[in-house]
Amino acid sequence: MRFSPRRRKQVKNMQPLTMQHLATTPPEPVSRSGLHVAIIADGNGRWATSRGLPRSAGHRAGAESARRVIEAAPRLGIRTLTLFALSSANWKRPAAEVNAILRLLHEYLLVETSHCVEEGVRLSVIGRRDRIPGTLRQAIADCEAATASGARLHLRLAIDYSAREAIYHAACRFYKVTELSQESFSNVLSEVLRGGSTDVDLLIRTGGEQRLSDFLLWECAFAEFVFLPKRWPDFSVPDLECAVQEFGRRERTRGALPDAIAG
């Protein structure tokens, strides 16, 4: 099979992105409605072990990267930011590592809630809540209530999250229903997730892997992907700026012809 020039460009875009890969042409301006950026923050454990540190140290360093990204997001035109904090599949990891992540999340919520309120950040958590510690469940509820009026940035943390499971539970609510629209299904999926369900514009994955890993499968139907080889603790604000600029250069047609979009 021979690739057309357009297809060649798409294949090239699947390669891990570095600052040097950015084109010299200016990006398209960000929509007034703001971007939904989702991040698979991968590589914390490998970052730590490569330095002779326990994996928990990598997760703590990753939390600092998250703080930097959250602070920078609004000025880059990001209105919704979804971070993959703990996958449902991560329960397969050693209990000590999972417990360290859960403690870190609890600590983050306790420390950052007041800061989120001050900065106009609304925090929501998507994912299951029946398997996490009760103290973390309460901290989530308290933070969501305290930040509910935040309008500058909607920060969503995916904790014990599985996209397949969320879609399954949404589908179960429509069992034996003969007529179902995409819009009504999206609304039910939003209820299942609690933190809402909106289309992702840009998905970033750090750590060198190039897969979704059961993250926002429904919402990423037309998302642009940017894969970075660097690990999450090394991810910087310039890297986020680089990814947003790359997004602005992508031609997004959603299956239509470019001329039809322009017209």
Catalytically annotated residues: 42, 90
For residue 181, the Cα-to-chain-centroid distance in whole angstroms is 26
Rounded distance, CA 111 to CA 124, Å?
Answer: 16
The H-or-E segment that residue 153 falls in is strand 153-161
Angle between helices 182-193 and 163-172 (to 10 degrees): 120
| Count of other CB atoms within 10 angstroms of residue 101 | 21
The token duo for 261 is: 């979009």
Q: What letter represents residue 221's amino acid? A: A
Phi, psi of 172 (to 5 degrees): -60, -30
Cβ burial of 6 (10 Å; 0-12, 13-18, 19+) is exposed
Q: Are 54 and 48 in contact (CB under 8 A)?
A: yes
Phi, psi of 124 (to 5 degrees): -130, 150
For residue 179, the Cα-to-chain-centroid distance in whole angstroms is 31
